[in-house]
Chains A and B, each alone.
Chain A
Amino acid sequence: MKNRTLSALFLLAAPLALFSGCKKDSDTPEATSTGSVNFTVQNVVPNTNVVGVQPPTPLVLNSSVATTSTGETFTVSTFEYYLSNIKFTKSDGTTYAAPDTYFLVDQATAKTLSFTVPNVPTGDYTGVSFIVGVDAQRTGLTNPLDFTGKLEALNQAYNMYWTWNSGHIFLKMEGTLTSTNPTKPLTCHIGGWGNNSTPNAIVTATPAFGSNKLTVRTDKAPTIALQANVAKLFDGPNPVTLSTFMGAHMPSAQSVQIAQNYAAGMFSVTQINTN
């Protein structure tokens, strides 16, 4: 009887040990401690109402008027883009690349205008970078049936995907050019990841922190306030004249030029709030 009890106890204890063993592994913190970093995104249009440098004004769909550096104007009905592969840089040049970071920012959906990157090693960071769009591995070489779970934001159902071997639409802006008479529709669907010698529009933005520092602690979740100026799609290294612009809706040289524009100047860090 005693032996039976002991072996029964062992049978009970063995799986328990296994369970607790498994749990321990995942619960034990890594050698480095981590914290979260929050992001907020505010899409804006340039402020042209007053002389001098004025802060841009928040984008209101179908209402705000965006003005390019050459004075052409447009309104925006749709403005969506992916931010992915978020990477933080320390002053010593070391970096932390947050895995599986894919966020779809959609001006029409308030909850997409903020997101959180978890498990960032604690420390003081002096820079951030991200792909405006999706990396080639995920957008081009991953079966679209696998865009679930951690890759949920990449699901085709979000209406940011081309089926024909072209991958995701990295950035989508639709609106109306209002500085022509008559007005004309404006569409910018930017994508292309460089397969089959198609143009590659995967670009990285590195908005400067300035004097700000990002302080990540286990008990502090700092917030990086990003601002995205929609007029910068057409200004920057490759100015686009909208009156003769035919729209972009497939991988093309012009899509790459617009991608270079938004990589260079669309994003800025307006504030870093250390809670």
Chain B
Amino acid sequence: MVRRFTHIGVSILLLAGTALSSCKKDKEEAIDPVIPAPTPYTLVVPAGFPTPVIPADNPLTNEGVALGRMLFYETKLSSNNTMSCGSCHQQNKAFTDGLAKAVGVDGIANPRGTMSLANVMWSNTLTWDGAFPTLDAQAHKPIENPIEMHQSLAVGVSKLQNTTTYPPLFEAAFGTRTITSDLLLKALTQFERTLISGNSRYDKYTKTQQGLSADELAGLKLYSTHISPRIVRGAECFHCHTLPLTSSNFAAQFFNNGLDMTFTDLGRGGVTGLPADNGKFVAPTLRNITLTAPYMHDGRFTTLEQVLDHYSDHVQMNSPGLDVNLIQGVNDPIFNPGRMGLTATEKRQVIAFLKTLTDSTFIADKRFSDPFKP
């Protein structure tokens, strides 16, 4: 910051000098510094989103973000030079891969699926089980994980150092041609923080209160309503998929949504060691949900209809630690006890609303695409 202001100060002085006389031209050229400071990146935050918190030691710059975009799509960061972050986080699928479980360079599947990166800047907990509190802490994991890109950052750094492409880009972004793991991750997370999806039909509706059909509005109301048995019908979605981000990553909360009676994957409990956390996972973003199938941490559901059927009719009500809002979320305890019990129409309406969360500009935005492809 100090450096940038110095530059502004210098240019004002230069302008003034030019205005005063033309005989000092020689002096101006001598002042030009060796490496220009990187330009701050202009972040556009969608209306109603929380104010983003960006680490003080890694402000977004145009140069850093541009470098991060290349690194995101750089296959040299994998052991056999075949995979990049973008292999699993594909833009046209809102940065997911269409698989139930992510598959790494050695053909081995992860226990869980690839998560969307839409609005990851607002995630105060990362990955399905919240193993990492910040994006900066998380970013090295998929690169080094043996069942993902399977290469130490140090090896990736030396591969990049030996190119003619990267040292000047690191110099432009960070003022040094010497690449380090730290700077590599900083550039990568700068790019990831720009992956903002806030231009869906739902977002337009929040600004204008117009543009959604009767079914979509009915779906939004069900989504956002807590059930009062036999008084107010709801679908309880908002408790975990909290608007406007439609996830629990911001609030850093984890839930057992009643998929199983026993847990082959302990989820959050595997991180905290607390039995109360077993079988709990973060509620992922529902933005662009039509593009991010299959659903759940293990990709067990292939359609949104199956997901709605689960919450309405198939929740394991005796699953230990089941979220209280699902235990109590029974629309009609007399005629359909122990079930949320949505009607076919209500399921269709919720899905109609979920489809308004697709952001066509996000998946087409050239700033996020693979720079190595034409």
What are the residues of chain B within 8 A of A62 when measuring CB–CB? 274, 276
Chain B residues, CB < 8 A from A8: 16, 19-20
* Chain A residues, CB < 8 A from B51: 148-149, 152
Min distance, Cβ B134 to any Cβ of chain A, angstroms: 14
Nearest neighbor of A147 in chain B, beta-carbon distance: B48
- Chain A residues within 8 Å of B50, by CB: 148, 152, 155, 157-158
| Nearest B-chain residue to A5, judged by Cβ | B20
Among residues 54 to 95 in chain A, which have CB atoms less than 8 Å away from a CB atom of chain B? 62, 77
Whether the pair B250, A249 counts as a contact (CB closer than 8 A) is: no
Is A157's CB under 8 angstroms from B251's CB?
A: yes
CA A162 to CA B238, docked complex, whole Å: 9
Contact yes or no, A157 B245, CB < 8 A = yes
Per-residue CB contact flags for chain A residues 177-211 toward chain B (1 = under 8 Å, else 0) read 00000000111010000000000000000000000
| Stretch in contact with the other chain, from B188-196, B323-331, B344-352 | B323-331
Which residues of chain B come closer than 8 Å to A189, judged between CB atoms?
A: 226
Q: Does A163 contact B (CB under 8 A)?
A: yes
B290 near A: Cβ within 8 Å?
Answer: no
The reply to whether A249 and B122 contact each other, CB–CB distance below 8 Å, is no
Interface string of B1-31 (1 = CB under 8 A from A): 0000000000000001001100000000000
Interface residue? B224 (CB, 8 A): yes
Encode contact with B along A142-165: 1 for CB under 8 Å, 0 otherwise. 001111110010011111011110
- The answer to whether A157 and B250 touch (CB under 8 A), given A145-B47, A163-B238, is yes
Q: Does chain A have a CB within 8 A of B232?
A: yes
Q: Which residues of B contact A109 (CB under 8 A)?
A: 252
Q: How many residues of B contact A (CB 8 A)?
A: 36
**Given A152-B50, A157-B122, A164:B325 Cβ within 8 A:** no
Assess the A144–B224 pair: CB atoms within 8 A.
no
Verify A185–B20 contact, CB threshold 8 A: no
Whether, in the assembled complex, B369 has its beta carbon less than 8 Å from a beta carbon of chain A, the answer is: no
* B19, A249: Cβ atoms closer than 8 Å: no
Q: Judge whether A250 is part of the interface by a CB distance below 8 angstroms.
A: yes
Q: Are A164 and B244 in contact (CB under 8 A)?
A: no
Task: Quote the shortest CB–CB distance from A68 to chain B (angstroms).
Answer: 19
Given contacts A163-B243, A187-B325, A187-B328, whether A77 and B238 have CB atoms under 8 Å apart is no
The verdict on A247 contacting chain B, using a C-beta distance below 8 Å, is yes
Asked if B221 is an interface residue, CB under 8 A from chain A, the answer is: yes
How long is the Cα–Cα vector from A161 to B245 in the complex, in angstroms? Answer: 13
CA distance A233 to B77 in the complex (A): 55
Say yes or no: A185-B328 contact (C-beta < 8 A), given A157-B50, A158-B251. Answer: yes
0/1 string, B24-50, CB within 8 A of A gives 1: 000000000000000000000101111
Contact of B324 among A146, A149, A163, A186 (CB under 8 A): A186
The answer to whether A18 has its CB under 8 Å from any CB of chain B is no
A50 at the interface (CB under 8 A from B): no
- A51 contacts the other chain (Cβ, under 8 Å)? no
A31 on interface, CB distance cutoff 8 Å: no
Check A159/B16 contact, CB under 8 A, given A148-B51, A164-B224, A185-B328: no
Q: A157-B245, A249-B226 are in contact. List 10 more A-B contacts (CB 8 A).
A: A108-B252, A108-B253, A109-B252, A152-B50, A152-B51, A157-B122, A176-B324, A187-B324, A247-B328, A249-B228
Q: Which 8 A-B pairs have the closest CB atoms?
A: A145-B48, A163-B224, A185-B324, A62-B276, A159-B242, A249-B226, A145-B47, A155-B50
- Give me 11 A-to-B residue pairs in the complex whose CB atoms sit less than 8 angstroms apart, sorted by A's number: A5-B20, A8-B16, A77-B276, A144-B206, A147-B48, A148-B49, A157-B49, A158-B242, A163-B224, A163-B238, A174-B325
